[in-house]
Amino acid sequence: MEKVEILKDSTKIVIKNLTLNDLEKIMRFYRNLPPEDRKYLRVDVTDRNIVEQRIKACELGYIIRIIAMHGDKIVADGALELSAEEWRRHQGEIRVIVAKEFQHKGLGLIIMRELCLLAEQKKLEKIVVKMTRQQIAARTICRKLGFHQELIIPDYVRDLAGETQDLVIMTCDIKDFWKELEHFYGDSDWQRCR
């Protein structure tokens, strides 16, 4: 996959699949994230071995990773994780992170849209997001896109600083996601890729 997109401020970016050829670029992206953005990630993305293993895991087919490029620089990363369990085959979990200087330009929504398109292609019916209670902006965006908070588990995860955090689980039916995205953007051409 390779798509050209234009952000709210007219910046041109390219959305493509993440491959091992992008390892150095994704490491630069992760290392340049502010500590407050890295703090709530599941793994230490500054560890090259961990990142390399995560990219290689995509070859098994249960994880699809996409990136947004601005020139030769990665400015966003997204993942769709599929379940190998029979009872959750209709679900996929998505994760998105955007470089600080590209936030509030619509890039996060573009990445979410692309992940949901991939989920639809995989015949998924429901998407799940998991985050800590501290990630207020992410929860707000998800709510605007039709996600509903299903559960908060107190002190369930540890952030990268070792502090326990409440885990928030939100879900959305794929059809509701498209409805909210179309409503959110009104007459724009955001649905043109569907």
Q: What is the pLDDT of residues 81-135, one digit of tens each?
A: 998 888 888 999 999 999 999 999 989 989 998 999 999 999 999 999 999 999 9
Token pair of 116, please? 């949901």
- Tell me the CATH number at 171: 3.40.630.30
Q: Are 127 and 116 within 8 A, CB to CB?
A: yes
Containing domain of residue 79, as a range?
2-193
Task: Render pLDDT for 134-165 as a digit per residue (tens, 0 to 9).
Answer: 998 889 888 888 899 999 999 999 998 899 99
CA distance 97 to 77: 5
Phi, psi (degrees; rounded to nearest 5) at 6: -115, 125
Tell whether pTM > 0.85: yes
Task: Render pLDDT for 173-194 as a digit per residue (tens, 0 to 9).
Answer: 988 877 777 765 554 444 444 4
Q: Is the predicted pLDDT of residue 170 greater than 80, yes or no?
A: yes
pLDDT at 92: 95
pLDDT at 60: 86
Total domains, the chain: 1
**SS3 letters across the chain:** CEEEEECCCCCEEEEEECCHHHHHHHHHHHHHCCHHHHCCCCCCCCCHHHHHHHHHHHHHCCEEEEEEEECCEEEEEEEEEECCCHHHCCEEEEEEEECHHHCCCCHHHHHHHHHHHHHHHCCCCEEEEEEECCCHHHHHHHHHCCCEEEEEEEEEEECCCCCEEEEEEEEEEHHHHHHHHHHHHCCCCHHHHC
* Beta-carbon count within 10 A of 132 CB: 21
pLDDT at 192: 42
